[in-house]
């Protein structure tokens, strides 16, 4: 994805952060996993991932690590869009096995001077909740 492809997916008030988003999105691991950005605003980042054969576990379901990869990288995009940060903690709850493509939605819960906390949820292509997480990041440097 380049800047021209990204900008229509971003709300007007976030387009100034396109280069920051592209830097996070372009991570080799995220690219290998097939992460796609669906939409970006200050209040919500939505990403998706097509399930690939290498992502399956021995029971024919999407491996928890693949689900976490989508969850973590969606968190990385929303948490690094407005400020430099790094993950501090993540609590994940898995509710059901996944077998289809995935969609992830990240929303801010609270942002202070030093911590940013987000609600991050992963859904199946049918809209069923697969996993939810509370992700906390340290704010290293404010951009705004």
What does pTM read for this prediction? Answer: 0.94
Give the separation between CA 75 and CA 77, rounded to whole angstroms: 5
Give pLDDT tens digits for 88-144: 999 999 999 999 999 999 999 999 999 999 999 999 999 999 999 999 999 997 665
Confidence band for 10, pLDDT divided at 50, 70 and 90: very high
Q: Which residues contact 69 (CB under 8 A, 6 or more apart)?
A: 29, 30, 33, 35, 49
pLDDT at 144: 56
Element (H, E) at 75: helix 64-81
Tally of structural domains, the chain? 1
Contact, 75 vs 126, CB < 8 A? no
Give the separation between CA 119 and CA 26, rounded to whole angstroms: 23
CATH number for the domain including 23?
Answer: 3.10.129.10
Tell me which residue of 38, 36, 6 sits closest to 21, measured CA to CA: 6
Q: How far is CA 43 from CA 10, 57, 105, 119, 125, in A?
A: 11, 33, 10, 11, 22
Give the separation between CA 83 and CA 142, rounded to whole angstroms: 5
Structural domain range at position 64: 3-142
Give the separation between CA 6 and CA 75, rounded to whole angstroms: 17
């Amino acid at each position: 994805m380049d800047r021209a492809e990204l900008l229509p997916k971003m709300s007007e008030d976030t387009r100034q952060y396109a280069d920051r988003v592209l830097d996070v999105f372009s991570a080799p691991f995220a690219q290998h996993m097939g992460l796609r950005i669906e939409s970006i605003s200050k209040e919500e980042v939505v990403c998706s991932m097509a399930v690939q054969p290498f992502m399956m576990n021995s029971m024919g379901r999407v491996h928890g690590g693949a689900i976490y990869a989508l969850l973590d990288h969606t968190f990385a995009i929303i948490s690094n869009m407005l400020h430099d940060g790094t993950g501090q903690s993540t609590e994940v709850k898995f509710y059901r096995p996944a077998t289809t493509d995935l969609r992830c939605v990240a929303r801010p819960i609270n942002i202070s001077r030093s911590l940013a906390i987000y609600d991050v949820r992963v859904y199946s292509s049918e809209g069923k909740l697969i996993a939810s997480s509370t992700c906390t990041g340290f704010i290293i440097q404010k951009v705004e």
